[in-house]
Amino acid sequence: MALIITLAHEKGGVSKTTLALNLQGYFRRSGHSCIVVDGDPQGSTTELFKAFGSQPGWNEVSFLSRKEYRNFEELPGKLSGHDIALIDTPPYFSSELAHALAISHLVLVPCKASLVDFLAINKTLDILDLECRKRPALRVAVVLTQTIAGTDFAQTIRKHLEKYGFPILKAQADIEAIGSELIDLLANP
């Protein structure tokens, strides 16, 4: 069965899709069979694959559009042959997100180092806290995205996020370090 990593945040523009695609490349280069799943009924990730799928490198990306599965309960059966699945979720709360969380092993919450994104993450982390209470084996981690090196603003946001009790990945912009931290997080509950 594939390890299912869901990227979730109630706000758009925090790099869920970009992070999913980059992590897919990292896991693939690390020898894992990885698939990106479009979990958004709007199909943003699907549109990217339509636009860029013929470009060099994209043909190596395994992808499943939202139209290729009826619901998240049947999704694990569609992931056979893959070690890891990365689910890109909608930029809003819906039953789709709740169903994706129910089949996930790890939820990665990208958050830009900005006040607006920090304020918007509260609801996401509250929902994940409730989900973890129901399913103690569920792992959750936050990663800061779109940070500016040499500023202390990311550190300020990081300190405020630590109050939620979820791990904040040390790596901010280095996809290999993020992938490595995720593997360590999953191996050491």
User: Is 61 contained in some domain?
Assistant: yes
Please tell me the pTM assigned to this model: 0.87
* 29 in any annotated domain: yes
Q: Kindly state whether residue 187 falls inside one of the protein's structural domains.
A: no
188 domain residue, yes or no: no
Measured distance CA(16)–CA(6) in Å, rounded: 9
Q: Which domain holds residue 33?
A: 3-182
Burial 38-71 (b: 16+ CB within 10 A, else e): bbbeeebbbebbeeeeeeeeeeebebbbbeebee
Instruction: Identify the CATH number of the domain in which residue 169 sits.
Output: 3.40.50.300
**Is 131 a domain residue?**
yes
**What confidence tens digit (pLDDT) does each residue in 101-141 have?**
999 999 999 988 778 888 888 888 999 999 999 999 999 99
What's the number of domains the chain is made of? 1
Note whether residue 22 is domain-resident: yes
